[in-house]
Chains A and B, each alone.
Chain A
Amino acid sequence: MNRLVHSYSKFLSAVTLVLIIAGGLVTSTESGLSVPDWPLSYGQFFPPMVGGIRFEHTHRLIAGIVGILTFVLLGLLLKNEGRGWVKCLGAAAALAVVLQAILGGLTVIYLLPTPVSVAHACLGQTFFSLVVSLVLFTSKEWATAPKIASENSESLKRLLATTFFFVCLQLIAGSVVRHAHGRTLNLHALLAFLIAIHVLFILVRILRDADLQPLVNHVLLLTGLVTLQVFSGGGAYLLTLVIEKAAYPRTSEVLITTAHQSIGAVILATTLLLMLRSFRLLKPTELRTSHE
């Protein structure tokens, strides 16, 4: 474990979350095409920051910073990390950030084609999850924490893997709802229900098993986020698809849709971490017996 790489991964995760929020604001304020050229903005590095340009250009600036920071992370991993697969994840993050920049440019040049916008939204959150997973892989817990024996370990792992699969599907469905004006809304609602039920099962299973104490805070965080997400989703639905549209997006609409999208990104990362931790930490009870 390298403390510098670990701390740096945390820092990059935080900046990436800021970038996701900034990207959400671009979509919610419908500012995506306020700057019609790319990679420059009105042929400049710094156009006048008025109207929608404030959101779009800020998003581009933060994206540029995240791009640079990601390559620094890759450099740190190449220099300090001994595990080849972790270095590969760093390289994947660098590749993702380049691809994401290209997708961002394509959304501008081709005037927000839905498949490209959806791919841009999904890759952004996938990149965030990748960086967050590097925080875990470079942590002390990952390197040294002892295995926890639990009779629920295998069923919990299966439950977490299924939940993570649903959350991944939800990422795509949610992006389509957002970028295709409500299309796949029914699937989005169904997946929300399935995820909520699964998280509830995970919560009960972990709380009931004293051996799983190290995962309690994590699952409580996930439950809190999912609860928040259900309410923000309901609010987003009412404000964007039920109430009559105003001449331009209302502040309440902008805030709730951006929050819904950003909480979604955090849920994806939190579910992934919980799944990875369970696979790393948990082992079946019989193994404990054989060792003892």
Chain B
Amino acid sequence: MKNRQKLGVFFTAFTAFQVNVYAATVTGKIAFEGRAPAAETIKMDADASCKLAHPDGAKSEEAVVNSNGTLKNVFVYVKEGVSGKFDAPKESVKFDQHGCQYTPRVLGIQVGQPLEILNSDPTLHNVHSLATKTQQFNLGMPIQGMKLKKTFTAPEIMVKVKCEVHPWMAGYIGVLDHPFFSATGGDGSFSINNLPPGEYVVEAWHEKYGTQTQKVSVAADGDVKELSFQYKAA
């Protein structure tokens, strides 16, 4: 076997070993107890194209309770216990302005990872980051299909992003120096993958209902731990 081939076999074996070692997963759901809050109706009369995108009327996404009794738009991440350095992925995280609302409303990104901001609307938006640990920005996006890229230089939970043209638009970005985070969607579930073995503090963050933390310990051999967070109606 030539040296180059030997190196290839070694690299593959090492990578497989690494994946196996980092294969622990923390998963779960964000339950919501109590009566779901009535979503505030958003008047989009200020911009005809926004109104046109929501013929049946738009609702605030500040607190969305899914049909299975779980909470949408909760950011779940490892708050404490992670050690080591994690390179930022090259691929962008997409953050779209669609129907005069942010899609997704809550997302996570690594420090240095590109955030691709899109304007899918036939109207103009400004994108204003209210970061406190990274320099803020306020960018005009007047053309449909326009894309911009930005990065964050420091971890921050959470960076609020807003549009002053359409004041109901708000988005939240969790910026971390590791890849162990997740955000709940329409089924209220989250999954944090490839965790190294160890003990961690996991935090769930919601823009209206605040934060909750839990401790979890994961082993190396494909361990899957389930966490359950429960928010209550205010």
On whether the two chains bind one another, the answer is yes
Contacts of B47 in A (CB 8 A): 50-51
Could you say which residues of chain A place their CB within 8 Å of the CB of B138?
33, 36, 111
Q: How far is the CB of B126 from chain A (nearest CB, A)?
A: 5
- Among the 9-residue stretches A24-32, A98-106, A192-200, the one with 4 or more Cβ atoms under 8 Å from chain B is A24-32
**Chain B 126-137, CB within 8 Å of chain A: the 1/0 string?**
101000000010
Chain A contacts with B in 40-82, Cβ cutoff 8 A: 42-43, 47-48, 50-54, 56
| B142, A47: Cβ atoms closer than 8 Å | yes
Contact present for A34 and B40 (CB under 8 Å): no
Known contacts A35-B126, A52-B167, then 4 further A-B pairs from the complex at CB < 8 Å, ordered by chain A residue: A31-B165, A36-B126, A36-B139, A111-B128
B165 CB to closest chain A CB (Å) equals 4
Chain A residues within 8 Å of B60, by CB: 247
**A234 interface residue, CB < 8 Å from B?**
no
Q: Place the interface of chain A in its size category.
A: 20 to 34
Is A37's CB within 8 Å of the partner chain B? yes
Most buried by A among B46, B60, B166: B46
A249 within 8 A of B: yes
Residue B200 interfacial (CB < 8 Å): no
**A242, CB-defined interface residue at 8 Å:** no
In the bound complex, do residue A34 and residue B164 qualify as a contact, i.e. CB atoms below 8 Å apart? yes
Contact A52 B40, beta carbon cutoff 8 Å: no
- Beyond A36-B126, A47-B142, is A52–B165 a contact (Cβ under 8 Å)? yes
Whether B9 sits at the interface, judged by CB under 8 Å, is no
Q: Once the chains bind, are B140 and A51 in contact (CB under 8 Å)? A: no
How many interface residues does chain B have, given as a range? 20 to 34
Complex CA distance for A258 and B46, rounded to whole angstroms = 19
Complex Cα distance, B163 from A54, in Å, reads 14
4 tightest A-B CB contacts, nearest first: A248-B167, A34-B164, A51-B165, A50-B47
Report which B residues bind A (CB closer than 8 A): 40, 42, 46-50, 60, 62, 123-124, 126, 128, 136, 138-140, 142, 163-168, 170
Chain A residue at minimum C-beta to C-beta distance from B59: A247
Task: For B126, give the chain A residue with the smallest CB separation.
Answer: A36
Residue in chain B with minimal CB distance to A41: B140
Task: Name the A residues within 8 Å of B49 (CB-CB).
Answer: 50
Given contact pairs A42-B140, A47-B142, A51-B46, A30 touches B167 in the complex (Cβ within 8 A): yes
Taking the closest CB of chain B, its distance from the CB of A257, in whole angstroms, is 14
Contact assessment for B164 and A47 in the assembled complex, using a CB-CB cutoff below 8 Å: no
Q: Determine the chain B residues whose CB is within 8 A of the CB of A243 once the complex forms.
A: none
Q: A35-B126, A42-B142, A48-B124 are in contact. Are A30 and B168 (CB under 8 A)?
A: no
Most buried by A among B40, B50, B62, B126: B126
Q: Specify which chain B residues have a CB less than 8 angstroms from the CB of A51 in the assembled complex.
A: 46-47, 50, 164-167
Q: Are B123 and A50 in contact (CB under 8 A)?
A: yes
A247 to B166, CA, bound (A): 11
Nearest CB to that of A54 among chain B residues? B46
- B166 and A52 contact, CB distance less than 8 A: yes
- The CA-CA distance from A29 to B128 in the complex, in Å, is 15
Q: Are B123 and A33 in contact (CB under 8 A)?
A: no
- Check: A246 CB closer than 8 A to any chain B CB: yes
Decide if B165 touches A30 in the complex (CB within 8 Å).
no
Give Cα distance in the complex from A36 to B47, angstroms: 18
Given that A33-B164, A34-B165, A249-B167 are contacting pairs, would A50 and B124 also be in contact in the complex, using a CB cutoff of 8 Å?
yes
Identify 16 residue pairs between A and B in the complex whose beta-carbon atoms are under 8 Å apart, listed by A's number.
A30-B164, A30-B167, A31-B164, A31-B167, A33-B126, A33-B128, A48-B123, A50-B47, A51-B47, A52-B164, A52-B166, A53-B165, A54-B46, A247-B40, A247-B167, A247-B168
Task: Name which of A36, A42, A52, A54 has the most chain B CB atoms within 10 A of its CB.
Answer: A36
B residues in contact with A33, CB < 8 Å? 126, 128, 138, 164
Which residues from chain B contact A36 at a C-beta distance below 8 Å? Answer: 126, 128, 138-140
Tell me how far the C-beta of A31 lies from the nearest C-beta in chain B, rounded to whole angstroms: 5
